[in-house]
Amino acid sequence: MGNSTAYQIQKTAISLFKEKGFHNVTIDEICQAAGTTKSTFYYHFASKDGLLTDFYENTTAISPEALQVLATSNNCWQKIWVCMEPVVDWTISAGASILSQVFVSNIQNQTDSFTMSNEADLAKLYISIIEKGQEKGQFENRSDPKLIYRNIKNITVGIALQWCISGGNFDEKQAIKECISSMLSVREDLL
């Protein structure tokens, strides 16, 4: 979501959803809190659910710190995690209730808000890191890097769903980190 107005509306709405609950917030309240009009809201989003369609879109920008790690680190596990951690943190900061609504919206609208507009670029990045980790002996799982990447996505979404079902009652970040490092078979000294 490159548009700053759309991002501001989404950010405001998510804050209101966290405070009052998704179903207790009206579009009028979102517009008032965001300092915008309904026509501007509807220009960017078809509905409240539409806000959640782009839920992860702003989490894919790689921070300057992450770019530094990607450019300088020899630890491929560190590179994978520096790319994943902001997405996981965004999920946690939104909360289990909002993420549950994202899942519901995806099912009801037969959409996949977990696939971002720059998915092809992200896939290439992850796959190249996985290949490098395998070449260096840092990842002992020798499966096809494309399959590993797909499994990383599936593991992440699956744990997020479990986290929602539990009402956020376990450490989602740690669970994702442990499952993915185990699936990659990361060399112990790199963890």
Q: Is 92 exposed, middle or buried (0-12, 13-18, 19+ CB in 10 A)?
A: middle
Dihedrals phi, psi of 113, to nearest 5 degrees: -75, 0
Q: Per-residue pLDDT tens, the chain, 191 aa: give them.
A: 455 888 889 889 989 998 898 889 999 999 999 999 999 999 999 888 888 877 766 665 677 788 888 899 999 999 999 988 988 998 898 899 999 998 998 888 888 877 766 778 889 999 999 999 999 999 999 999 999 999 999 999 999 999 999 999 999 999 999 999 999 999 999 98
Contacts 24+ apart (CB under 8 A), 143-147: none
Note the pLDDT of residue 9: 93
What's the pTM? Answer: 0.84
* Angle at the Cα of 113 from the Cα atoms of 107 and 115, rounded to 5 degrees: 125
Note the pLDDT of residue 3: 58
Cβ atoms of 129 and 71 closer than 8 Å: no
